[in-house]
Amino acid sequence: MSDEEIIRGYLEGNTKDYGVIVGWIREVVNTTLWVEGVAADDIISDTTYKLLVNFRAYRFKYQSSLKTYVQKITRFTIIDTIRSHKRAREYLSGNNLQPLENKSPLDIFEDEEEVTIFNRIFSLINEQCRQLWEMIFHDLLSYKEIAKKLNISEAAVKTKAFRCKEEAIEIRKKIA
């Protein structure tokens, strides 16, 4: 099967052609994805979307094989994802973690795991909860200060925080 036929089938939704491309993506993901907290399924999904956009815009110029092109896009997607996870971890942690020399390897692993889980939950909760959490955890505002800022009652802030916590718990159950 030629590269042109695979691309045409992929754009038309042919499951066989889609499977060929996802197989190439999985090869790269399985051999290069070793970073904790980066979900292989997310990489595959992001890569297939990027390929769809690129194929529709005729960005593949047949200067290399289609397999090489797919693998290159996959590697770039992995790199972008790792960088965004690193930035999110640094932002959310505020770099306030205790020095590594005072921690056991197990403590370090557990901290990293918790940060990864928190970042994943933070990326999946709704925008209102994300804003509320930023005020609580990043800005360190009290419920009273948040209530003034949002022009709502303190009880309403507590209710919103409770609902956001419930949403986060449900997300945690799904990703664990």
Provide the pLDDT for residue 103.
62
CA-based nearest residue to 66, from 9, 15, 117? 9
Checking if the pLDDT of 67 tops 80, the result is yes
Provide the pLDDT for residue 75.
87
* Distance, CA of 82 to CA of 36 (rounded, Å): 9
Mean per-residue pLDDT for 50-58? Answer: 89
Higher pLDDT, 103 or 156: 156
The answer, as to whether pTM is greater than 0.85, is no
Contacts 24+ apart (CB under 8 A), 90-97: 92/118, 92/119, 92/122, 92/137, 92/138, 94/138
- As a residue count, the chain comes to 176
CA-based nearest residue to 81, from 130, 134, 25? 25
The pLDDT tens digits of the residues spanning 109-155 come to 666 777 777 778 888 889 999 899 888 877 888 888 999 999 999 88
Provide the pLDDT for residue 29.
84
Q: 96: pLDDT confidence band, cut at 50, 70 and 90?
A: very low
CA-based nearest residue to 51, from 109, 13, 11? 11
* Distance, CA of 167 to CA of 125 (rounded, Å): 7
Mean per-residue pLDDT for 167-176? Answer: 82
Higher pLDDT, 34 or 84: 84
* Cβ burial, residue 32 (10 Å; 0-12/13-18/19+): middle
Domains in the chain with CATH codes: 3-92 (1.10.1740.10), 101-175 (1.10.10.10)
| Least-confidence region, from 45-49, 84-88, 151-155, 156-160 | 84-88
Checking if the pLDDT of 11 tops 50, the result is yes
Rounded to the nearest integer, the mean pLDDT of the chain is 81
Residues 148, 162: contact at Cβ < 8 Å?
no
Provide the pLDDT for residue 93.
52
* Distance, CA of 98 to CA of 130 (rounded, Å): 25
